[in-house]
Amino acid sequence: MTEAQAPARRGVRAGRPAGLGVLLVLLLGVVFLSITQGSREIGLHDVLDALRHLSAVTTDDTVTVRLRVPRTILGVLVGAALGVAGAILQGLTRNPLADPSIMGIESGAALAVVLGITAGGLTAIEVHVVLAFVGALAATALVYGVGSLGRDGATPVKMALAGAAITAGLSAVTIGLLLTDLQAQNEFRFWQVGSLSGRYAPIVTGVAPVLLVALAVGLLCGRPLNALALGDDAARGLGISLTRTRIGLFAVVAVLCGAATAACGPIVFVGLVVPHVARAICGPDYRWILPYCLLLGPLLLLGADILGRVLGSPGELQVGVVLGVLGAPFFIALVRSTRLAEL
């Protein structure tokens, strides 16, 4: 590090706590907008009255208590889960393009949902949540098992290749099943788009405990991720058990992404973009990257959800569609930036 770079590094370290405070304030603002804005605008007084009584007597009460509050809570939890999981996955594989979609998590969840529809006639969204969660965990275990074969064990390159291969295979099976069952196509397309709408309180209460525990564990993964970033030999020298650490980190990612995908369907770009934004703000230390991702993920997800509601009024654009449109050019801009190239 040169003498000119040292003050800049010290400035980044000094500003990290303040940056978290700013992001928290912004997130509270976005949460407020998520509850009040949409095809039907609801004033602050009406929101507070609905939350105070929980009576759902008027239309505004019903919209607030039964629709927007669960939707907002789920958006915060899922955004945080995908942001933290993306950071862990990128650090674990040492692959800046790693996200849940290339590790078989989303394709495993999708196949489980399709099998439930085609083989069992299961159409309730609550059942889809359970099926997707089980499918995501099973796919992650399969990816890790295949990537661990051989003398070297689960190296980052082998894990990426195993994830890409299994994702392609599971996706092909899913498409094959859908092509033979028109009813399954109709049921599946509502889950596949990725959405926060229609997710009521039972779904939120079902996945919230899982996500909260997994997020708490995920935030403790900064030190092992910093060790792995130094390379396998350096991590061993620091006393890190590579096999146990990788299994534990993959388990955290599987639970976070599995529960998030189960609840909302596949949500693109959050796990890919958010870790890069966090690194650009706070530097390469995962002890800070993870808390930043915890706040940046919900900011991006809820912001896109609000935008979809406003632009699509009186209906709405699903958040998966909005993120797909906004995420691609945003990520291209990140890749082209000098700052990202140095990380």
State the residue range of the domain holding 297: 29-334
Mean pLDDT, residues 293-314: 89
The conformational region for residue 265 under phi > 0 = left, psi -120 to 50 = alpha, else beta, is left
Ranges of beta strands (E only) in the chain are none
Confidence of residue 189 (pLDDT cuts 50, 70, 90): confident
Find the helix or strand (DSSP H, E) in which 203 lies: helix 201-218
Q: Is 81 helix (H, G, I), strand (E, B) or coil?
A: helix
123-to-118, 162, 180 alpha-carbon distances in Å: 10, 31, 17
Quick one: which of 73, 36, 87 has its CA closest to 296?
A: 87
Residue 117 lies in a domain: yes
Radius of gyration of the chain (CA): 21
Q: Name which residue leads in pLDDT, 300 or 105.
A: 300
Residues in the chain: 343
Which range is most confident: 4-18, 93-107, 224-238, 290-304? 290-304
CA-CA-CA-CA dihedral for 281, 325, 126, 51, to nearest 10: 60
Residue 247 lies in a domain: yes
Q: What's the confidence (pLDDT) of residue 64?
A: 64
Residue 188 lies in a domain: yes
Q: Name which residue leads in pLDDT, 171 or 37.
A: 171
Residue 15 lies in a domain: no
Average pLDDT of every residue of the chain: 82
Residue 9 has pLDDT above 80, yes or no: no
Q: What's the confidence (pLDDT) of residue 198?
A: 74
Q: What's the confidence (pLDDT) of residue 342?
A: 44
Query: Could you tell me how far CA 201 lies from the centroid of its own chain?
Result: 20
Residue 8 lies in a domain: no
Token pair listed for 279:
């690194």
Which range is most confident: 2-6, 129-133, 190-194, 247-251? 247-251
Token pair listed for 314:
């009186």
Confidence of residue 92 (pLDDT cuts 50, 70, 90): confident
How far is residue 177's CA from residue 171's CA, in Å, rounded to a whole number? 10
How far is residue 32's CA from residue 47's CA, in Å, rounded to a whole number? 9
Residue 321 lies in a domain: yes
Count the domains in the chain. Answer: 1
Domain CATH number, residue 297: 1.10.3470.10
Q: What's the confidence (pLDDT) of residue 50?
A: 61
Residue 4 lies in a domain: no
Residue 50 lies in a domain: yes
Quick one: which of 149, 146, 135 has its CA closest to 100?
A: 135
Q: What's the confidence (pLDDT) of residue 288?
A: 95
Confidence of residue 67 (pLDDT cuts 50, 70, 90): confident
pLDDT in tens, 112-144: 888 888 887 777 777 878 888 888 889 888 988
